[in-house]
Amino acid sequence: MTNGAVAAPSHHNQPTVDQSDRLVPINLRQTGPTPVELLISTRIRKSPYWHLSMEAGCWRAEVYNRVYHPRGYVRPEDGGAMAEYHSLVNDVTMWNVAVERQIRVKGPDAEAFVNFVITRDATKIPPMRARYVILCNEKGGILNDPVLLRIAPDEFWFSISDSDLMLWLQGVKVGQPYDVEIAEIDVAPVQIQGPRSVDLMVDLVGPELADLPSYGLMAAEVAGLPVIISQTGFTGEKGYEIYLRDASLHAEEMWNAVLEAGRPHNLAVIAPAHHRRVAAGILSWGQDMDAETLPFQVNLGYQVPRTKQADYIGKAALERARALVEAGTPPFRMVMVGMRVEGRPIDEYAPDFWLVRPGDGGDPVGYLTSPWWSPELNTNIALGYVPVELSALGTRLAVDLPAQYADEPGVPVPAEVVEVPFRPSVNPNTRERLRERGLDSAV
């Protein structure tokens, strides 16, 4: 099919997209938007900042880590998510990210235990530094990709993405000789992101904040309350996270102190800016990867160092997978790529995994996971999965966009595989820094 209308699927879940290497295929049914009211009940946790987000204008939410998660403050008629993006890239923003539940591993064997559950080398993380890490199961599937904070020689915090890592860690410990305690703690973060974030943070905690390096940590006080501050974030912009201790007791004092310090810097409270994290090539667990995804499929090969001597969960499977990738016979059919996608600006979250076809036509062979419009690049950009043989830079593809984004309803729009990240980051992530040194590799 070339430049023709999209054919009706022969099966609701698109059997032409080969997912035979998965036990549970990604749901590729194209249902479109299905607006429903979010039921607020006691089954799902409200974070300490939930009511403060409501006061700040939050009008929609979803569930992340079994916590209600604010996902919109500016109404669509007032500019919606793209207006929030404008605040992020021009001024400074605060995000309620208490959904990043903090799982503490503490005790004499904390370093050894953490080293056993992450793929990177925990012994190389000094106290008061953080790292982006992954944890894998015995088959090498990615279970979580938290930021790991080393608070002390015997204390680590996993600031987790959207899977219940505490239960996994506690299960791993059963029957093992590690002298550690594993529990969630009453610490809830907010993110301060944007080019004016350093100015706000200096006003908030003092001039020493300006010297905090990327992935550095510092103990400080906000409104007289003890916090840990990291130079991390979900954007590629300059940014920080403030981890408030005893958050269930002191959320209001800290939140209001940040609002007050932010007034001279045009601070806006917004939702996590997924459009900016896509441009930076930052992945979202559950959306871009899951427990059936190998690191080598999603440009996380650098998270599996060849030099780590200690054993860890998934090491044997990951080394076998690396050998197969290097031999040209990868143990997976699909890989994640970046794409430039034509069509009208995608200015809202996609309700479905939109389908990808070969550029010269034919049945769907892949799908988008994270599409957004990039104002800086003046094009739609997306992360998505395609067969390995269609993953080379410059490969022409076509994407089935909904009618409101397609140039012609029912006709796939052209797309092209491009390099990730899509634009340089102000605050480069590990993969970007390795690439600058010529060390980035899929394997």
For residue range 79-115, list pLDDT tens digits in order: 999 999 999 999 999 999 999 999 999 999 999 999 9
Whether 320 contacts 437, CB under 8 Å: no
Looking at residue 431, its pLDDT comes to: 59
Query: What's the CA angle centered on 99, arms 249 and 433, to 5 degrees?
Result: 120
Structural domains of the chain, ranges and CATH numbers in brackets = 1-30+333-443 (2.40.30.110)
- Which tokens is 394 given? 């410059």
Whether 367 contacts 427, CB under 8 Å: no
Between CA 140 and CA 281 the distance in angstroms is 21
Looking at residue 442, its pLDDT comes to: 47
First to last CA, the chain: 35
Q: 110: number of CA atoms within 13 Å, CB side?
A: 22
Looking at residue 423, its pLDDT comes to: 84
SS3 435: helix
At residue 244, what is the residue type?
L
Q: In the predicted model, is pLDDT for residue 272 greater than 90?
A: yes
Q: In the predicted model, is pLDDT for residue 443 greater than 60?
A: no
Averaged confidence pLDDT in the chain? 94
Contacts for 429 with CB less than 8 Å, ≥ 6 apart = 132, 236, 280, 281, 282
Q: In the predicted model, is pLDDT for residue 151 greater than 50?
A: yes
SS3 232: coil
Strand (E) positions, 303-345? 334-341
Looking at residue 434, its pLDDT comes to: 59
Q: Which helix (H) or strand (E) holds 137?
A: none
- Band (pLDDT 50/70/90 cuts) for residue 428 is low
pLDDT digits (tens, 9 = 90+) for 373-383: 999 999 999 99
What's the whole-number mean pLDDT along residues 393-407? 97
Task: List phi, psi (to 5°) of 430.
Answer: -60, -45
- Band (pLDDT 50/70/90 cuts) for residue 426 is confident
Between CA 3 and CA 16 the distance in angstroms is 19
Using alpha carbons, list the distances in angstroms from residue 178 to 41, 89, 439. 38, 45, 34
Q: With the C-alpha atoms ordered 40, 43, 49, 51, is the resulting torsion angle positive or negative?
A: positive
Looking at residue 361, its pLDDT comes to: 85
Q: With the C-alpha atoms ordered 89, 93, 98, 99, is the resulting torsion angle positive or negative?
A: negative
Q: Which helix (H) or strand (E) holds 262?
A: helix 247-262
Q: In the predicted model, is pLDDT for residue 153 greater than 70?
A: yes
Looking at residue 439, its pLDDT comes to: 52
pLDDT digits (tens, 9 = 90+) for 189-246: 999 999 999 999 999 999 999 999 999 999 999 999 999 999 999 998 999 999 999 9
Between CA 178 and CA 175 the distance in angstroms is 9
Between CA 367 and CA 16 the distance in angstroms is 11
- Band (pLDDT 50/70/90 cuts) for residue 430 is low
Q: In the predicted model, is pLDDT for residue 67 greater than 50?
A: yes
Look at residues 83, 414, 106 and name the one whose alpha carbon lies nearest to residue 273. 83
Contacts for 418 with CB less than 8 Å, ≥ 6 apart = 338, 339, 340, 381, 393
At residue 312, what is the residue type?
Y
What's the whole-number mean pLDDT along residues 293-302? 97
